[in-house]
Amino acid sequence: MPIIRALRHRKIGAVLIGLQIALTIAILANSLSVVQQRIAHMRRPTGLDEADIFTMANQFSGSMTDLSARIQADLARLRAIPGVVDAVAVHSFPLRGYGGSTGVTRTSDLKASSVNAAEYSFPERTLQTWGLRVIAGRNFTATEFKEQPVGTDWAPPPVVIVSQALAKALFPRGDALGKDIYLTSSAPTRIIGIVERAQTPWAANESVLFGAENAVLEPIQTVSPSIAYVVRTRPGRNAALLAVAQQQLYTLSRARIISEAQTFAETRAERYRSDRSLILILAVVCLLMMMVTVLGIVALTAYWVVQRRKYIGMRRALGARRADVLRYLQTENLLIAGFGAVLGVVMGLAGNAWLASAFEMTRFSAAYIIVAAIMLLLLSQIAVLWPALRAAMLPPVAAIRGH
């Protein structure tokens, strides 16, 4: 084909453009894949009714002798705020960032392989406050709840609710309900209920595969100077009631420190901030890459047009229409970009294989690389439009005038 033979004279320039397109495709495809994975990761639900919840960390100071009463007084005050549906005092909650965890085994032999799970103190009314969904069994009854004051020795509760993920991990056949499990203790604990989902406090850093939804809910009221209040409000009121709640608690007693007072949406944003920043950085880098590639194509094509003024003018003189000149340059660009796209697909796949092994990410489907390649081919065609149109506007007389 003459168009390919003609390209041989501009081989280096063509290779450079092809290389730019290839690099951009490779990085774009991998970025798209990383971004998609991170977005999916960030969107995983906790199992809570996140929209209407806010939380506060409360650290009591002053007298510690009547902690239980102080907590109950706080809860009563919180529940009395108009717009508040319910409130509980817990040790931790999903996405809090820190909390307790325990090994769970199916037998009393503690050397047997155990499954790690988040351990939640789950006092009365927590199920409704958090908004967890029971999919099998039942909620705790009032008599099953127990207080666990700080400084007392710990004994496993006789009954627990577990998350579906933990139930599956322990009893793959799906018969977890009613079974006994062991929480690093020789005393058995019976599963009386299964909730659909309850993420761990550190779920932002874990995949479901590695136990991000493994949780044991224990009917225990933690009594400690350091607790977390989880407050459920009427729809749309949580942000507004956050300030009211803090004020009410301080009015009740100043001998405390309230921190980390935030809506659940804020907690979620904070936990996933690293993922969000990666997405943003990749987005900016990809945008800049596409911009630089387009500018590079525009500049080099424009230079080629200037270089070939005479030749283009001659074609026009020999009867080529404007559309023919335009089409010629676009075909030329398509050839170069096509070469770049093939190279980009190869580089992108290689890069992905490497990323997948280095960062334990899943490999992407062919769709990403194809989308990236098509995007770049289109961009390249758009980039060439301006210099090509200028070339098409050259009068036939350019053939004679020289430069």
Partner 1 sequence: MIRYHIELALRSLRRNVVLTSLMIIGVSFGIGASMTVLTALRALSADPIPAKSARLFSVRIDNWGPDVPNNAAASDLLSYPDAMALMRAHQGIRQTVMYAPVFSVTPRSGDAIPFTATGRAISSDFFAMFEVPFAAGMPWSKADDDDRANVVVLGSKIAQRLFPAGDAVGKTITLGEQNYRVVGVLAQWRFQPRVYDLSSRLYQETEDIFLPLTTAAARRLFSYGGSYCDKPPSHDWDLMSRSECRWVGFWVELSSAAQRPAYLAFLRNYVAEQRRVGRFHWAANVALLDINETLQAEHIVPSEMKISTYAAFGFLTLCLVSATGLMLAKLGGRATEFSVRRALGASKAQIFAQCLAEGAFVGVAGGILGLGVTALGLAFERAILREDYARLIDLNANAVLTTVVLALVAVTLAATYPAWQSSRLAPAWKLKAE
Which amino acid makes up residue 54? F
Residues binding partner 1: number (CB under 8 A): 73
Residue 69 near residue 214, CB atoms below 8 Å: no
Q: Does 251 bind partner 1 (CB under 8 A)?
A: no
Which is nearer to partner 1, 254 or 322 (by Cβ)? 254
> How is 171-231 classified by DSSP, letter by letter?
-TTS--TT-EEESSSSSEEEEEEEES----TTGGG--GGGTTT-EEEE-EEEE-SEEEEEE
Least distance (Å) between residue 235 CB and partner 1: 30
Q: What CA–CA distance (Å, rounded) separates 315 from 396?
A: 8
| 102 binds partner 1 per the rule CB under 8 A | yes
Stretch that binds partner 1, among 120-128, 300-308, 317-325, 365-373 (CB under 8 A): 300-308
Q: Per CB under 8 A, which of residues 310..349 are in contact with partner 1?
A: none
Q: Which one of 3, 138, 149, 382 is in contact with partner 1 (CB under 8 A)? A: 149
Q: Which parts of 34-93 interact with partner 1 (CB under 8 A)?
A: 34, 59, 61
Residue with tokens 């501009």: 10
* Radius of gyration (C-alpha) of the chain in whole angstroms: 32
Is residue 374 close enough to count as binding partner 1 by CB under 8 A? no
- In the bound state with partner 1, the residue whose beta carbon lies nearer, of 1 and 359, is 359
Query: Would you say 217 and 142 are in contact if contact means Cβ atoms under 8 Å apart?
Result: no
User: Is residue 292 close enough to count as binding partner 1 by CB under 8 A?
Assistant: yes
Q: Is 7 helix (H, G, I), strand (E, B) or coil?
A: helix
Q: How far apart are CA 403 and CA 400, in angstroms?
A: 9
- Judged by CB under 8 A, the stretch of 135-143, 283-291, 311-319, 388-396 that binds partner 1 is 283-291
Interface of this chain with partner 1, residues 151 to 190, rule: CB under 8 A = 151-156, 183-185
- State yes or no: residue 288 binds partner 1 (CB under 8 A): yes
Q: Closest approach of Cβ 138 to partner 1, in Å? A: 25
Q: C-alpha angle 374/377/380, rounded to 5°?
A: 145
User: CA neighbours within 13 Å on the CB side: how many for 231?
Assistant: 34
271 vs 358: CA distance, rounded Å = 23
> Of 66 and 324, which CB lies nearer to partner 1 in the complex structure?
66
Minimum gap (Å) between residue 288 Cβ and partner 1: 5
Smallest distance, Å, CB 226 to partner 1?
A: 8
